[in-house]
Amino acid sequence: MLAGSIPLPTGNLAVLDTSVYIEIFRTGRFTLDLLRSPWIIRCSSVVLHELRRGARTNLEVRFVNELARKIQIITPAERHWLESAEILSIIRRKKGYGQNKLRELAFDALIALSVRDIGAILITCNRRDFEEIRSQKPFKVLFW
């Protein structure tokens, strides 16, 4: 936590992965689940990066910009970058993944570690990659 910053409450916090936002935006899937959920939603700066990087239309760009303005954002700390590199190194040795797969997993590891740090649950549609990361570092996750 940065000096002078307000600590985030814990308990019923959730962070949506990029895959969930894409489903909500494109199909409306999960919208009711989210509206009825008991969670206080936070957003990862990594997820915002992925969403903005993939935005192709003006509507998609406006969606990301509006989300960034309206939601409290969590950002990976230096220790998350270093820890994610350790996790990826272990996964590379165990699974023999190449650089492309490791790049795919890198942002997911940052999301998972920062979510874990605030005591939140990660909500994702990406079971395979997050289970792989979770095998190295436990964190709370809900697969939709």
CATH code, domain with 70: 3.40.50.1010
| CA-based max dimension of the chain | 43
d(Cα 83, Cα 126) in Å, to the nearest integer?
21
Contacts of 128 (CB under 8 A, 6+ apart): none
- 79's tokens: 């220790």
Q: Identify whether 115 is part of a domain.
A: yes
Q: Identify whether 96 is part of a domain.
A: yes
Q: How many domains does the chain have?
A: 1
Decide which of 2 and 23 is more confident.
23
Domain that holds residue 106: 13-143
d(Cα 57, Cα 26) in Å, to the nearest integer?
12
Q: Identify whether 6 is part of a domain.
A: no
Q: Identify whether 1 is part of a domain.
A: no
What 3-state DSSP class applies to 60? Answer: helix
Q: Identify whether 7 is part of a domain.
A: no
Q: Identify whether 2 is part of a domain.
A: no
Q: What are the tens digits of pLDDT across the range 46-94?
A: 999 999 999 999 999 999 999 999 999 999 999 999 999 999 999 999 9
What local confidence, expressed as pLDDT, does residue 10 receive?
Answer: 53
Residue 71: CB atoms within 10 Å: 14
Residue 1 has pLDDT above 60, yes or no: no
Contact assessment for residue 110 and residue 132, using Cβ atoms and an 8 Å cutoff = no
Q: Which helix (H) or strand (E) holds 30?
A: none
Predicted model pTM: 0.89
Q: Identify whether 122 is part of a domain.
A: yes
Q: Identify whether 48 is part of a domain.
A: yes
